[in-house]
Amino acid sequence: MSKTGKKAIGGGIFIAVIIVTALAAAGISALLVNIFERKMEAGNPYVRLVEVDEDTTDPAVWGKNWPKQYDSYKRTALATRTRFGGHGGSEALPEEKIERDPWLKRMFLGYAFSIDYRDRRGHAYMLQDQEQTDRQTKPQSGSCMHCHASIMPVYRALGDGDALAGMNKTHAMSYQELNKMVHDMGHAHPVSCVDCHSPDDMQLRVTRPAFIVGMQRLAESTAPVPAIPSIEIWRQGSRSQPYDPNVDATRGEMRSFVCGQCHVEYYCSSKFPLTFPWGDGLKMEDAEKFWDGLTMDDGHRFYDYKHKESGAEILKAQHPEFELWNQGIHARSGVACADCHMPYQRDGASKVSDHWVRSPLLNVNRSCQPCHHISESELLARVDSIQQKNFDLLQRAGVALMDLLDAVNDAKERGATDEQLRPALELQRKAQWRLDYIAAENSMGFHAPQEAARILGESADYARQGQIETMKLLR
Ligand code: HEC
Ligand code: HEC
Ligand code: HEC
Ligand code: HEC
Ligand code: HEC
């Protein structure tokens, strides 16, 4: 082969390299332009057609700017069902929980929950269901509205611009009075866009004063909160300002905090402002300690109601989803409520959060499978196995509590005095608080399976200890 021949081949390769490089460069820049355009699309996925501000509680107005989110939000009006989630019953009204589990009704005797206590359903119904519950046949306080309507403008009006001051007036108002005010001022909407988003830039934010005060108390305590790192960071700082979720929390934490505004244990009556019991921590016994440490106006230890049969001073638990989630492996791994209950949907280049908040079991593909690369049927089977075990333990603990009540009635019939029964009634308070805590939590144990089992185990144990106390009296 001649030198020139080699050269010719070398030149051919050289030209080919130039052509390939040029093509690649063109390809890359086309790709870059495309990525840039997509990024613009994703970063700026809406055109503001109408202005929204802090007083725009009507979601339909926001829907003009953000139609995709609004469309899925509206679907919360559709009925959903899973084995333990959504609701049974007719389309008109969810099923009565207290008829399904007779022990539930008996443990609430002496309280409005024994009159009417139903399955929850979608967000679209929250105000209507509250207005219609037969629990309203007993006087209820204005505090109820905190989690059932888009109430912030009303709080600000009552507090001359200060929402916390406004909220602190509402417990003394009757439910009907505050409800009328919310309607008259045009804010009778269920949880709305403005409750979770800033109208200026759509950033997630929390609005509910009871949540903000509760989180401040939690931050100021020494309770470990490994699943909320921003609290640990605040504690190590100067503490010149109180912990403020809207300033201190990470974006990931906000994806759970927006739900924690309502899906929590609380106290709500005309006696004192709506309170989230987090001053000693977020665990079940931290809340128990917080309530046990409170005294009422008459100096007596705090309780929600006296049990109609036994006379025990009972603590009523309400849907502690945020608290139980906090004790589970998902929270610990940084998995937020919104990851499972508002998963992303692809929409062209942009990702849209599904605002049809519902059971993730109706949506395993988008709710679980982005992280768990196993089949849908296997995931559903794992959840069902957790829920079945929790359900079985719940029933056992319910039976144990009924046996305690029977034993107390029996001892009373045979002449046992209140003084003699006191230890058994204290054990009823502890057993019932634990049972109700898991019965009222809406995931049937899924949010923290081991923690739920621990609590139910303690419940059954306290109920049986109480039963033994009464039997000792009869010896
Ligand atoms: C890892 C996923 C996951 C996370 C994170 C999670 N949940 Fe759930 N949640 C579930 C599952 C699974 C159920 C059971 C649904 C069923 O039984 O149909 C459930 C049930 C519920 C229910 C009852 C649903 C119904 O249809 O009746 C509510 C309410 C709820 N969760 C709220 C929350 C809140 C609030 C948070 C955050 C504090 C949270 N969840 C975090 C998976 C999750
Ligand atoms: C801290 C927030 C909060 C407050 C305060 C609150 N609720 Fe609710 N409520 C919820 C959540 C969350 C659900 C859905 C979960 C569930 O049903 O367990 C719910 C469900 C309900 C339901 C439907 C299911 C059922 O229980 O029959 C009714 C009715 C209701 N609430 C009435 C009231 C009344 C009356 C008050 C005042 C005494 C009140 N709520 C105060 C958060 C709250
Ligand atoms: C302003 C209070 C409030 C906020 C904020 C809120 N919820 Fe709810 N949620 C409720 C109430 C009240 C109900 C029950 C409505 C009813 O039964 O009429 C409910 C019902 C639900 C249900 C049951 C739906 C069904 O179809 O059965 C789920 C799941 C749920 N919420 C999850 C969440 C998640 C996740 C978040 C945060 C992204 C959240 N909620 C934020 C008050 C709230
Ligand atoms: C209970 C709280 C809650 C309510 C009510 C709510 N959102 Fe959201 N929204 C979220 C969460 C959580 C995200 C995810 C944001 C993130 O991770 O940064 C989100 C995301 C968004 C985004 C950003 C893009 C996306 O889809 O992720 C838009 C836009 C939006 N919501 C619009 C609305 C509109 C419009 C309404 C009323 C019709 C509304 N939201 C009501 C919680 C809520
Ligand atoms: C954002 C990621 C993410 C999502 C979404 C998610 N998980 Fe998980 N899940 C995890 C991580 C992380 C663990 C911890 C185990 C580990 O580290 O491997 C876990 C653990 C579990 C476990 C075993 C632990 C336990 O609680 O007993 C089950 C079961 C589970 N997930 C089911 C689900 C289901 C069902 C869904 C959807 C409703 C879901 N996960 C959604 C990340 C996720």
Same domain as 172, residue 290: yes
Residue minimizing CA distance to atom 33 of ligand 2: 130
Cα 242 to chain centroid distance, Å, stands at 23
Q: What distance in Å separates the CA atoms of residue 83 and residue 309, rounded to the nearest whole number?
A: 33
What's the CA dihedral at 326, 328, 334, 336 to 10 degrees?
A: -70
Predicted confidence band of residue 350 (pLDDT cuts 50, 70, 90)? confident
What are the tokens at 136?
Answer: 């309203």
Amino acid at the residue 374: I
Q: State the number of CA atoms in the 13 A half-sphere of 307 facing the CB.
A: 27
pLDDT at 17: 52
Residue of 270 and 235 predicted with greater confidence: 235
- Mean residue pLDDT of the chain comes to 90
In a domain, 11, yes or no: no
Residue minimizing CA distance to atom 33 of ligand 3: 259
Taking CB atoms and a 6 Å cutoff, what residues make up the pocket around ligand 2?
A: 117-118, 120, 129-130, 133, 135, 140, 143-144, 146-148, 262-264, 266, 268, 274, 319, 440, 442
Can you say whether residue 202 is alpha, beta or left, with left for phi > 0 and alpha for psi between -120 and 50 degrees? left
Q: What distance in Å separates the CA atoms of residue 265 and residue 214, rounded to the nearest whole number?
A: 11
Q: What distance in Å separates the CA atoms of residue 464 and residue 241, rounded to the nearest whole number?
A: 47
Q: Residue 306: in which H helix or E strand, if any?
A: strand 305-306
Q: Residue 410: in which H helix or E strand, if any?
A: helix 376-413
In the chain, what percentage of residues exceed pLDDT 90? 77
Query: What's the domain count of the chain?
Result: 2
In a domain, 42, yes or no: no
In a domain, 153, yes or no: yes
Measure the CA angle with vertex 257, ends 251 and 263; round to 5°: 155
Residue of 347 and 78 predicted with greater confidence: 78
Taking CB atoms and a 6 Å cutoff, what residues make up the pocket around ligand 5?
A: 328-330, 333, 335, 339-340, 360, 367-368, 370-372, 379, 382-383, 449
Same domain as 337, residue 400: no
Cα 324 to middle of ligand 5, angstroms: 15
Q: What distance in Å separates the CA atoms of residue 236 and residue 242, rounded to the nearest whole number?
A: 13
pLDDT tens track for 131-156: 998 888 888 999 999 999 999 999 99
**324 close to 441: Cβ distance less than 8 angstroms:** yes
Burial class (CB in 10 A: 0-12, 13-18, 19+), 380: middle
Taking CB atoms and a 6 Å cutoff, what residues make up the pocket around ligand 4?
A: 59, 62-63, 66, 69-70, 73, 191-193, 195-197, 202, 204, 251, 255, 258, 338, 342, 352-353, 355
Q: Which residues pair with 197 in a beta bridge?
A: 204
Q: What distance in Å separates the CA atoms of residue 185 and residue 19, rounded to the nearest whole number?
A: 69
- Domain span at 400: 378-473
Q: What is the CATH number of the domain that holds 124?
A: 1.10.1130.10
Please spell the DSSP secondary structure of 54-107, one letter per residue. Answer: TT---HHHHHHH-HHHHHHHHGGGS--B-SSSB--B-SSSBPBHHHHSHHHHHH
Same domain as 444, residue 386: yes
pLDDT at 27: 52
Same domain as 342, residue 388: no
Is the full-model pTM beyond 0.85? yes
Mutate which of 253, 335, 363, 386 for ligand 5 pocket (most atoms within 8 A of beta carbon) = 335
Tell me the mean pLDDT in the region 399-424: 96
Residue of 352 and 474 predicted with greater confidence: 352
pLDDT tens track for 416-467: 999 999 999 999 999 999 999 999 999 999 999 999 999 999 999 999 999 9
